[in-house]
Structure 1
């Protein structure tokens, strides 16, 4: 059964190569203070429904961090679409989880420094949870997507 908010399944480049998507779900969140909390709630629910065998609590925190960062650091524009972030969860047939958050801002200043953060929060925490981080411009160049990939198994040290 396909989730109600799912977009068409697309292959995801996984850590082990290209693997077809077995399960996916997405939804938008408004730029509101509670967006990260809602993202965590929905992520926990979906990962339970998908029966993902990885660190679901870590992945739930990761989704909240990415959505929270998008809301905190993006400057929403005048249209309703500019005031939303999209969260997408995809699990490949290789059991890798991809967490993507799209926001309307096409830049990511200090991306290389953020995960090494001296304040030890946000993306630094996400890396400690086992997430491999990347970001890219959206195909329409209107925004960006920040991606965290997580695999089942022990979290790397």
Structure 2
């Protein structure tokens, strides 16, 4: 693996350009109920991102008393973040651009986990969810009870992968 050194000020400039250009959160398909609670945060697309997402998602869902299985929801958020870091951030910018996480709890107590990245397409999404690709992250999220969709961001070049979770038992 070849590593290219990019000076800190250039990484900061590139990150700012990518954030401004690619990572406005998309107007998402409407959830079942209105939003009772919404929280958004950006994370650097770096190996530590899934760990940070687990920490923040667990805290937010606990503080706001989501009635679903918080540990399973945190695992799903982590998987989606790991996929964004691994697949959507190739090349020398891998340690710079941000991904966005949005947690929305609806009035119907559904949890929407949205992870946005600057890559506009998602080839073989259905195969990934079904576990018919080399990676198994989306398949794992589906097995944990998440309903998964993806959509292009309306006003930017990126995309959002969404997991819908409802309180109740986790599939075996």
Q: Which residue of 1 aligns with 2:30?
A: 13
* Among 131, 150, 153, the residue aligned to 2:165: 150
8 Å Cα contact 1:30/1:83 also seen in 2:
yes
Q: TM-score, normalised by structure 2?
A: 0.76
Residues 1:65 and 2:79 aligned together:
yes
8 Å Cα contact 2:100/2:115 also seen in 1:
yes
- 1:78: how far off? 8.4
Residues 1:138 and 2:153 aligned together:
yes
Q: Which residue of 2 aligns with 1:39?
A: 53
Q: Which residue of 1 aligns with 2:127?
A: 113
Alpha-carbon separation, structure 2, partners of 1:45 and 1:75 = 26
Residues 1:127 and 2:139 aligned together:
no
- The aligned length equals 143
Q: Larger RCO: Structure 1 or Structure 2 (Cα < 8 Å, ≥ 6 residues apart)?
A: 2
Larger relative helix fraction:
2
Deviations 1:117-143 (A, max 9, x none): 146730111011110000000012410
Return structure 1 stretches of 4+ with deviation > 6 angstroms: none
**What is the SS of the residue equivalent to 1:88?**
strand
Q: Which residue of 2 aligns with 1:87?
A: 101
Quote the RMSD (CA, aligned, Å): 2.2
Larger Rg: 2
Q: Which residue of 2 aligns with 1:5?
A: none
